[in-house]
Amino acid sequence: MRKDLVWLFAGILFFGLLYLLNWGVKAISTDLLVWIGAFLTLAILSFLYQDNAFYKFAEHLFVGVSAAYWMCMGFWNTLVPNLIAKLHPPIVKGVLPAIAEKPPEYWYIIPAALGIMFLMRLSPKAPWISRWALAFIVGTTTGLNLVRYLRSDFLGQIKSTLIPVIVVENGSLSVGGSFSNIVIVVGVLCGLIYFFFSKEHKGLFGVASRVGIYILMITFGASFGYTVMARISLLVGRMRFLLGDWMGLLQ
Amino acid sequence: MIRFKIRLALILISASVLLLFGYISSPGQELEAPPEPLPAPPTNVVISDDPNDDGHTTIVSWQLSRDDGAGLNNVMAYEIFRSTSPEGEFLQVGVMGKGLDSYIDRGEKEKTRNGEPNPRYIGAGIDYYYKMRAKSTTGTYSEFSELVVGQAKNNWYHTGKTNIMIAVLIFSGLVIYFITAAKRGKELYVRPIAGIDAVDESIGRATEMGRPILFVLGTGTAADLATIAGYTILARVAKMTADYQTKVLVPVNEPVMLAVAQETVKSAYMEAGRPDMYDEQNIFYVTAMQFPFVAAVCGLMIREQTATNFYMGIFHAESLILAETGAITGAIQISGTDQLAQLPFFIAATDYTLIGEELYAASGYLSKEALLLGPVKAQDYAKVILLTLLGLAVITWSFGWGFFKSLISTIS
C-alpha cells in the first residue's frame, strides 16, 4: 500500500508540475465524467507496473457494474420480450405495446420450465434436476453449432482449395498464378496431415507434417502482425482520450 | 417576260422567308411527336415451386415480350406482382432486367409483422396469383400479362445434397465402427500431443510450489465446441488436482458455463474419491462482459500467484492480455483454442498451445474413452478420404478432367 501512495503522490506531483509550467493544462476538461473516465483509465493502466489499490478499485467497479448491467439487459432484452410477453402479452403493454396485442403463445411454458429446472441448482434437495436443463441447452446448441461450423470452416475451406495447379492465362502458362495455387494446395494438404492423429509423424509423413506446421506458423505470424496493428489503434484511442479529451493537449 | 419571271421568283422567295421566319418566331407551335407504341407484355407466365426449399419460395418464369431484343426493342425491365386473391391488392415483388425470363420469389417466413399480416409472406399450400408487365425505356408500361396462380411446397429432401448425405453416412459409419472397436478392447492409437503431455508436469509443479491452478474456459458460450473440449480437459485437470490436493480456480463468464464447470469438477473429485475436497466457491461467475472479466482474471493471477494457467475454449481480444499477465507471474501456461485470430498470441505468449483440432483430439487422448476416441479416429479417416479426393480433384482438373472437382463441388 505504501507503493500505491507513492504512485498517487507522484501522479499529483506530475499534474501539479504540468499546471505550474502552464503547459497546455489550461484546456484541461471540466467535465466530471471525463475526469472519472481518465481516473479509471489510469487506474487500469497502473496494472502495467504492478497490482495496486487503484487497479483493484477499478477492477471491482468494472466487474460489479458490468455484472449488474448484464443482469438488467438479460431481464429486459431476453426474459421480458421472449418469455413474459409470450405467455401473458398484456403485462408488457407499458414497455412493449406492439407485442401486447398479440395472442399468448403457451408453448413458451417449455423454456420457462427449463429455466426453473436450471434454477434448481440452488436447491439443496434436488440440484440434479438442473442437469436436465443443462443437457438440453448444451446438446441443442452444440448440434446447431456443428452445422454452422461445418458450413463455414470445413466446407468453405474445401471450396477455396479447389483451384487448378496449372494456371493458363491468355493461352500461355502463368508461372506466378500456378506457383500461388500450388502453395495454397500444398499448404492445405500438409496442414491436414499435421492434424492427423492416428499415425506418428515420422518419415515422409513427418516431413509433410512439418511443412504443414511451418505454413501454419507463417500464417499465424502474419495474423499476429495484423491483429497487433488493430490493438495499437485501441491504445491510440485511449491516448487520444487522455491527452485530448481530458488534458486538452491535442487539438 | 424575263422581268415577270424575276418578279415571280422574288415574290416566292419573300413568301418562303416570311413563312420560315413565322415558324421560327412562334414558340409552342412545335411539331408533336407521334405517341410511342407501348411494349408488348410477357407471355406464358408460369408459377412453379422451388424444388429444394422449405415452402417459402416460388419460381416465376415467362416468355420474353416480343419487343425485348426484337420488334420495337424498347423493353427495359419486367415487373412481377403477387397477391393472395385475383381481385386483391397486388404487391410488386420483383423487377428483372430485359432478356431475363425467370424470377425466384423468396417470400418472408413470418406470417405477421408488428401485428399486421405480412404481405411479403409466402407459405406452403397457399394459392398465390401473379401478373407481370414490361417497362419500356421511356417509362411506359405494357398491358398486364394474364393472371396465373401457383403454390409453394415444403420439400423434405434437397436433391442437390445427396452427396452430402452420402458423406455424412460414411462418416457416421466410421464413428460407429471405431467406437464399437474401442469398446471391444481394440487399442486405438492417438499420437502424443505436446500440450497435453505437459498437463501432468504442470499440475505436479503447482503442487510442489503449493500454489493454485487457474483454468479459464474462455469468453465463448457453454455450448461452443471448443468450450466443450475445454470441459474434458478441465475434468482431467480437476481429477489430478483432487489426487494431489491442489486448489483449482475456475472463473467463468456465463451462468450456463458455471453450472457445467461446477458439475465437471464435482464429478472429477468424486471419481478421484475426494468429494470432501470439492469446494464450489472455487468455480465462480465473474461477469459476462469481456474486459471486466479479463481485469478480474488478471487480478486473480497476480493475487493468488497461480503456478499453472490453462486457457481452453473460445477466446477473443483478451487472449494476449491473459497470457502476458500469466507470463509475468512465472506460471506454466497451456492454451488451446480454435479461434484463428487468437492462436498467434497464445503461441507467442504461452508455453504450450493446442492448435484448433488438437484441442478436440485432446479430449479423446486424455480420457481414452471409446466414445471420445472413436470420433477422433473417424475424423482421421475422413481426412484421408478428403485428402485423396482433394488431391485428385486439383490434379485432374489442372489437366482438364473435371469429374472429381464436380464431385467435391457438390459436397461443398
Convert the pLDDT of each residue in B190-204 to its tens digit: 888 888 888 888 999
pLDDT at residue B75, as a whole number: 93
Q: pLDDT-derived band of residue B313, with 50, 70 and 90 as boundaries? A: very high
What phi, psi does B216 have (nearest 5°)? -110, 125
pLDDT in tens, A137-167: 888 887 887 777 776 677 777 778 888 888 8
Q: Is residue A154 assigned to a domain?
A: yes
Which residues sit opposite B91 in a β-bridge?
B82
Q: Which residues of A touch B289 (CB under 8 A)?
A: 66-67, 69-70
Q: Is residue A100 assigned to a domain?
A: no
User: Is A66 close to B395, i.e. CB distance below 8 A?
Assistant: no
Q: For chain B, say whether A136 makes contact (Cβ under 8 Å).
A: no
pLDDT in tens, B88-129: 899 999 999 999 999 999 999 888 777 678 889 999 999 999
pLDDT at residue A194, as a whole number: 93
pLDDT at residue A22, as a whole number: 61
Same domain, A173 and A241: yes
pLDDT at residue A227, as a whole number: 85
Q: Which residue of B has its CA nearest to A231?
A: B317
Nearest to B116 by CA among A108, A89, A101: A101
**Is residue B220 a contact partner of residue B319, using CB atoms and an 8 Å limit?**
no
Q: pLDDT-derived band of residue A12, with 50, 70 and 90 as boundaries? A: low
Mean per-residue pLDDT over chain A, rounded = 85
What does B363-405 look like in DSSP terms, one character per residue? HHHHH--HHHHHHHHHHHHHHHHHHHHHHHHHHHHHTT--HHH
Report A:148-207 residues touching B (Cβ under 8 A): 149, 155-156, 158-159, 161-166, 185, 188-189, 192-193, 195-201
User: Is A195 close to B357, i.e. CB distance below 8 A?
Assistant: yes
**B229 or B1: which carries more pLDDT confidence?**
B229
- At a CB cut-off of 8 Å and minimum separation 6, what does B182 contact? B188, B370, B373, B374
Same domain, A57 and A109: no
Same domain, A138 and A192: no
**Is residue A174 a contact partner of residue A167, using CB atoms and an 8 Å limit?**
yes
Same domain, A182 and A238: yes
* Cell numbers that stand for B204 in this block: 505436479
Q: Which residues of B touch A102 (CB under 8 A)?
A: 115
**H helical segments located in A22-81:** 32-45, 53-73
Sign of CA dihedral B213, B219, B221, B223: negative
User: Is A193 close to B387, i.e. CB distance below 8 A?
Assistant: yes
pLDDT at residue B381, as a whole number: 92
pLDDT in tens, A174-221: 899 999 999 999 999 999 999 999 888 899 999 999 999 999 999 999
Domain end among A86, A120, A140: A86
User: Is A141 close to B259, i.e. CB distance below 8 A?
Assistant: no
Report A:84-113 residues touching B (Cβ under 8 A): 98, 101-102
Q: pLDDT-derived band of residue A16, with 50, 70 and 90 as boundaries? A: low
What ipTM describes this predicted complex?
Answer: 0.81
Q: Which residues of B touch A131 (CB under 8 A)?
A: 263
Same domain, A79 and A6: yes
Domain count, chain A: 3
Same domain, A189 and A203: yes
Same domain, A188 and A224: yes
Task: Say whether pLDDT at A93 is over 90.
Answer: no
CA distances from B334 to A12, A182, B230, B321 (A): 41, 34, 12, 15
CA distances from A241 to A29, A194, A246, B127 (A): 11, 46, 6, 61
Q: Is residue A251 assigned to a domain?
A: no
% of chain B residues with pLDDT over 70: 90
User: Is B225 close to A166, i.e. CB distance below 8 A?
Assistant: no
pLDDT at residue B14, as a whole number: 61
Q: pLDDT-derived band of residue B206, with 50, 70 and 90 as boundaries? A: very high
CA distances from B101 to A75, A117, A182, B120 (A): 51, 56, 41, 22
pLDDT at residue A117, as a whole number: 93
Region at B273 (left for phi over 0; alpha for psi -120 to 50; beta for the rest): left
Q: For chain B, say whether A218 makes contact (Cβ under 8 Å).
A: no
How far does B330 lie from chain A, in Å, by closest CA? 14
Structural domain harbouring A116: 105-160
Same domain, A186 and A217: yes
Q: pLDDT-derived band of residue B164, with 50, 70 and 90 as boundaries? A: confident
What does B118-182 look like in DSSP terms, one character per residue? -TTB--BT--EEEEEEEEETTS-B------EEE-B-B-SS-GGGHHHHHHHHHHHHHHHHHHHHH
Q: pLDDT-derived band of residue B296, with 50, 70 and 90 as boundaries? A: very high
How far does B104 lie from chain A, in Å, by closest CA? 24
CA distance B128 to B59: 11
Q: Domains (ranges, CATH) in chain B?
A: 43-150 (2.60.40.10), 160-183+373-411 (no CATH), 194-368 (3.40.50)
User: Is A195 close to B225, i.e. CB distance below 8 A?
Assistant: no
Interchain CB contacts (distance < 8 Å): A and B: 155
Task: Say whether pLDDT at B17 is over 70.
Answer: no
**Is residue B217 a contact partner of residue B228, using CB atoms and an 8 Å limit?**
no
Q: Is residue A98 assigned to a domain?
A: no
Q: Is residue A96 assigned to a domain?
A: no
Averaged pLDDT, B131-147? 93
Domain end among A160, A176, A205: A160
Averaged pLDDT, B144-155? 93
Q: How many CB atoms lie within 10 A of CB B349?
A: 20
Q: For chain B, say whether A223 makes contact (Cβ under 8 Å).
A: yes
Same domain, A135 and A169: no
* Cell numbers that stand for B316 in this block: 477473443
Q: Is residue A95 assigned to a domain?
A: no
* Cell numbers that stand for A83 in this block: 418469455
pLDDT at residue B5, as a whole number: 67
How far does B151 lie from chain A, in Å, by closest CA? 28
pLDDT at residue B106, as a whole number: 93
Task: Say whether pLDDT at B19 is over 80.
Answer: no
Same domain, A125 and A65: no
**A163 or B22: which carries more pLDDT confidence?**
A163
CA distance B320 to A36: 27
pLDDT at residue B220, as a whole number: 92
CA distances from B199 to B194, B234, B319 (A): 9, 11, 19
Q: Which residues of A touch B190 (CB under 8 A)?
A: 197-198
CA distance B251 to B267: 18
User: Is B189 close to A101, i.e. CB distance below 8 A?
Assistant: no
Same domain, A207 and A141: no
Q: pLDDT-derived band of residue B159, with 50, 70 and 90 as boundaries? A: confident
Q: What angle do CA B102, B106, B111 make, to 5 degrees?
A: 145
Q: Is residue A91 assigned to a domain?
A: no
pLDDT at residue A9, as a whole number: 66
Same domain, A128 and A175: no
Burial class of residue A30 (count of CB atoms within 10 Å of its CB; 0-12, 13-18, 19+): exposed
Q: pLDDT-derived band of residue B322, with 50, 70 and 90 as boundaries? A: very high
pLDDT at residue B343, as a whole number: 94
Q: Is residue A189 assigned to a domain?
A: yes
Candidate from A59, A137, A188 with C-beta closest to B223 = A137
pLDDT at residue B21, as a whole number: 53
pLDDT at residue B23, as a whole number: 52
Q: pLDDT-derived band of residue B365, with 50, 70 and 90 as boundaries? A: confident
Q: Which residues of B touch A164 (CB under 8 A)?
A: 394, 397-398
Q: For chain B, say whether A129 makes contact (Cβ under 8 Å).
A: no
Domain end among A115, A137, A160: A160
